Amino acid sequence: MSAARFSARFYVAAGIVAAVLLFGLVAPLVFRTHQVGDVVGGLYDHPSAHAWLGTDNLGHDVFTNLMYGTRTSLLIGLVAGAIATLLGVAVGTLAGYRGGAVEEGLMGFTNVILAIPSIVVLVLISIALGTRSTLTLAVVLAVTSWPWTARAVRAQASSVRTREHLDVARLSGAGTFSLICYDVVPYMLSYICMAFVLQVSGAVLNEAALSMLGLGPSGGVSLGIMLHWALAWESVRTGAWWAFVPPTLLLTLLAFALLMLQSSLDELFNPRLRRHARRRRTARPAALPLPVERPVPEGAAE
């Protein structure tokens, strides 16, 4: 692969993600006229100079809710995505690198979890927990979503295992742990990067789905919780668009941008997916990344 050239799609996607991140993390520090939970009007007041996006069913400012909701959703997405990626990479690398009985056992376990629909496990765990903090919910989401990554990483790791630089490293006396950290994982970083992006988008969407079922983080506001109340109080059917359009659009935009980011990274890392590479395919790079298994974003889920 020559010098990395980012496509226009990458810049658009990265721009949208950055904008949403900015909105969730910085906007609450800038716009401080209202706080979460302040009653600023009546039931579904129209947007006005006082409340830019109107009020929700409890008379809370929708714009304020949107800022803090985005922050909660992003926080859950990032934490859950990081934990899930970490778990998936650990299990996948260990299975792929060690092979044999370790691989059989770990992958058997992974596939069993993969077969059970995650929404079922999410609902059951959420009910068992009773009250759920933002962080707990992130951990729960991560626990149900790592198997995708583990399965794909295992395939990559078992192909990296056969490469020659590993023999060299082994001959120079490197231990298993150092081999995995310095000689296996760096070769899969491009994939791990994409997996993380997908995990984040999956976690954000799953959080919203759980919240809409009524199992969201207790005592806070997230994009999903905003939708939950908007639906429960019939804002869609009464035409109070300001209560449900902003969170819907934000979720859609974020999910779309993350998926686009992933797919443009995919094209960057995997030359086979590039169209112009097809025309000049006389010189194929020797060690291509494996075709990536495309995890279905759970729109429970996804």
Partner 1 sequence: MSLPRYLGRKAAWYLGALLVAILLNFLLPRLIPGNPVDTIVSSLSRGGVEGSQLHAIHAHYVHEFGLDKPLWQQFVVYLGHLAHGDLGVSFAQSPATVQGLIGQALPWSIALQLPAILLGWLVGNVLGALAAYRGGWFDRGAFLGSLFTSSMPYYCVAILLLYLLAVVIPVLPPSGGYSFGNSPELSAAFVSDALTHYWLPFLSLVIVFVGGQAVGMRSMAVYELGSDYVNYDRGLGLRDRTIIRYIFRNAMLPQVTGLALSIGTLVGGALITEIVFSYPGVGTLLFTAISQNDYPVVTGLTLLIAVAVLVANFCVEIAYGIIDPRIRASSRGER
Residues that bind partner 1 (CB under 8 A): 104, 107-108, 111-113, 115-121, 123-125, 127-128, 130, 201, 205, 208-209, 212-215, 227, 231, 236-237, 239, 241, 244-245, 248, 251-252, 255-256, 258-260, 263, 272-273, 275, 278, 281, 291, 294, 296-302
Nearer to partner 1 by C-beta: 68 or 244? 244
**Closest distance between partner 1 and the C-beta of residue 32, in Å?**
29
Nearer to partner 1 by C-beta: 25 or 290? 290
Torsion, Cα of 230, 61, 18, 301 (10° steps): -20
3-state secondary structure the chain: CCCCCCCHHHHHHHHHHHHHHHHHHCHHHHCCCCCCCCECCCCCCCCCCCCCCCECCCCEEHHHHHHHHHHHHHHHHHHHHHHHHHHHHHHHHHHHHHCHHHHHHHHHHHHHHHHCCHHHHHHHHHHHHCCCCHHHHHHHHHHHHHHHHHHHHHHHHHHHCCCHHHHHHHHCCCCHHHHHHHHHHHHHHHHHHHHHHHHHHHHHHHHHHHHHHCCCCCCCCCHHHHHHHHHHCCHHHHCCHHHHHHHHHHHHHHHHHHHHHHHHHHHHHCHHHCHHHHHCCCCCCCCCCCCCCCCCCCCCCC
**Closest distance between partner 1 and the C-beta of residue 155, in Å?**
9
8 Å CB contact between 7 and 268? yes
**Closest distance between partner 1 and the C-beta of residue 230, in Å?**
8
Nearer to partner 1 by C-beta: 187 or 302? 302
CA distance linking residue 201 with residue 255, whole number of Å: 6
Nearer to partner 1 by C-beta: 11 or 256? 256
**Closest distance between partner 1 and the C-beta of residue 36, in Å?**
22
**Closest distance between partner 1 and the C-beta of residue 164, in Å?**
22
CA distance linking residue 206 with residue 123, whole number of Å: 11
**Closest distance between partner 1 and the C-beta of residue 124, in Å?**
4
Nearer to partner 1 by C-beta: 40 or 227? 227
Nearer to partner 1 by C-beta: 40 or 53? 53
**Closest distance between partner 1 and the C-beta of residue 239, in Å?**
5
Nearer to partner 1 by C-beta: 50 or 272? 272
**Closest distance between partner 1 and the C-beta of residue 70, in Å?**
15
Nearer to partner 1 by C-beta: 186 or 214? 214
